[in-house]
C-alpha cells in the first residue's frame, strides 16, 4: 500500500513537473523534431544516391539473366521457333520493346538484319520459366543456311533507370523446303509421291511373278503393296518382305529374275560412259 502510494506520488510529481516545464519541453521538442527531420532527409538522400548508383552501375544481366536462348532448326518457308529462359528477382516493368535481329552465319553483328520490334506492356514475369516465340515467315523469310538470332530487351528498373539486355541464340540451320515448295499441301503431295515411288522401288526389288500353289502365275506383291496405307509404311510397322508368301524363296527357279529399278537406273546412267569407253 505504501509502495503504491509512493509510486502514485512519483507519477503525480512527474506529471506536475512536466506541466510546469511545458514551455521548455515544447522548445526542445521542436528543436528535436527539426533535427530529426533534417537528419532523416540527409540519410534518405544519401541512401537514394547510393541506390541510384547501384542501379546505374550494375549490369543489366544482374536484373534479368537469360539462361538459355535456343532457336530450333527449320526449313525455308516455315516459322522459326525460339525458346528463351531467364531468371530475375523482381517483376520489372518493361515499357520498352523486344527487338529481334537475324545474323546470317559468317557476317558480323553490324550486318544484322532487323526482324521486328514488339512492345512489351505486361512486364517480365514468371521468373525461371521458359517462353517460346516464333518468327513468322512473312516477318523474315529464311533462306537455306545458318543463322543466329540476336534479342535485345530494354526494361526499366528502380528510379526508371533503363537497362538493355542483348543476348544471342545458338547457330541454327535452315534447310531446303521439302519438295522445293513452302506450301504445306504441296509438301504433303510431294511426300506422298515420294512414298509411292519408294513403294514402287521396293516392289520392283521383289520377284514380280510368282507361281501359286495351283500353278497359275500371280503378281501378288505388286497388288498387295498397292493397298498398303502409306502411314504404316512410313512408321515402319509394315515390312515389305512380310507381305511375301513364305513359299516364294523355295521356288526361285520358276520365276525369271528381272533387273530391278535401281539396276536399270544404274544401267541408264552408265550406258553413255560405257559407250565412251
Interacting residues with another protein (CB under 8 A): 10, 13-14, 16-18, 20-22, 24-33, 36-37, 40
Q: Between residues 31 and 226, which has the closer beta carbon with respect to another protein?
A: 31
Q: Do the beta carbons of residue 58 and residue 87 sit within 8 Å? A: no
Dihedral of the alpha carbons of 124, 130, 131, 136, in degrees to the nearest 10: 130
Residue placing its CB nearer to another protein in the complex, 40 or 87? 40
CB of 120 to another protein, least distance (A): 32
Q: How far is the CB of 49 from another protein (least distance, A)?
A: 21
CB of 64 to another protein, least distance (A): 28
3-class SS at 174? strand
The distance of closest approach from Cβ of residue 38 to another protein in the complex, given in angstroms and rounded to an integer, is: 10
Q: How far is the CB of 17 from another protein (least distance, A)?
A: 5
Residue 154, φ and ψ in degrees, nearest 5: -110, 140
Q: Which DSSP symbol is given to 163?
A: E
Q: What is the nearest approach in angstroms of another protein to the Cβ of residue 34?
A: 8
Nearer to another protein, 32 or 42 (CB): 32
- Residue 4 or 24 with smaller CB distance to another protein: 24
In whole angstroms, what is the distance from residue 28 CA to residue 33 CA?
8
Q: Which is nearer to another protein, 32 or 262 (CB)?
A: 32
For the chain, the straight-line distance linking the first and the last C-alpha, in angstroms and rounded, comes to 136
User: Quick one: three-class SS letters along 4-39?
Assistant: HHHHHHHHHHHHHHHHHCHHHHHHHHHHHHHHHHHH
Nearer to another protein, 42 or 271 (CB): 42
Write the CB contacts of 218 (distance below 8 Å, at least 6 apart in sequence): 209, 210, 211, 212
Amino acid at each position: 500500500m505504501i509502495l503504491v502510494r509512493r509510486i502514485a506520488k512519483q507519477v503525480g510529481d512527474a506529471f506536475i513537473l512536466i506541466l510546469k516545464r511545458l514551455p521548455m519541453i515544447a522548445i526542445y521538442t521542436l528543436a528535436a523534431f527539426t533535427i530529426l527531420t533534417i537528419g532523416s532527409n540527409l540519410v534518405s538522400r544519401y541512401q537514394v544516391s547510393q541506390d541510384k548508383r547501384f542501379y546505374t552501375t550494375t549490369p543489366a544481366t544482374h536484373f534479368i539473366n537469360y539462361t538459355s536462348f535456343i532457336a530450333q532448326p527449320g526449313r525455308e518457308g516455315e516459322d522459326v521457333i525460339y525458346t528463351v529462359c531467364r531468371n530475375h528477382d523482381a517483376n520489372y516493368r518493361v515499357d520498352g520493346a523486344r527487338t529481334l535481329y537475324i545474323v546470317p552465319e559468317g557476317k558480323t553483328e553490324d550486318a544484322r538484319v532487323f526482324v521486328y520490334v514488339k512492345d512489351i506492356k505486361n512486364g517480365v514475369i514468371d521468373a525461371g520459366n521458359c517462353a517460346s516465340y516464333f518468327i513468322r515467315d512473312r516477318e523474315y523469310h529464311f533462306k537455306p543456311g545458318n543463322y543466329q538470332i540476336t534479342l535485345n530487351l530494354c526494361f526499366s528498373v528502380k528510379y526508371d533507370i533503363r537497362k538493355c539486355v542483348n543476348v544471342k541464340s545458338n547457330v541454327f540451320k535452315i534447310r531446303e523446303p521439302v519438295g522445293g515448295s513452302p506450301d504445306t499441301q504441296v509438301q504433303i503431295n510431294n511426300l506422298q509421291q515420294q512414298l509411292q515411288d519408294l513403294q514402287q522401288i521396293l516392289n520392283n526389288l521383289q520377284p514380280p511373278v510368282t507361281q501359286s500353289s495351283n500353278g497359275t502365275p500371280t503378281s501378288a506383291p505388286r497388288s498387295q503393296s498397292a493397298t498398303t496405307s502409306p502411314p504404316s509404311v512410313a512408321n515402319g510397322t509394315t515390312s515389305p518382305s512380310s507381305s511375301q508368301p513364305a513359299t516364294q524363296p523355295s521356288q526361285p527357279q520358276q520365276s525369271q529374275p528381272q533387273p530391278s529399278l535401281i539396276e536399270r537406273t544404274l544401267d541408264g546412267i552408265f550406258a553413255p560412259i560405257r559407250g565412251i569407253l
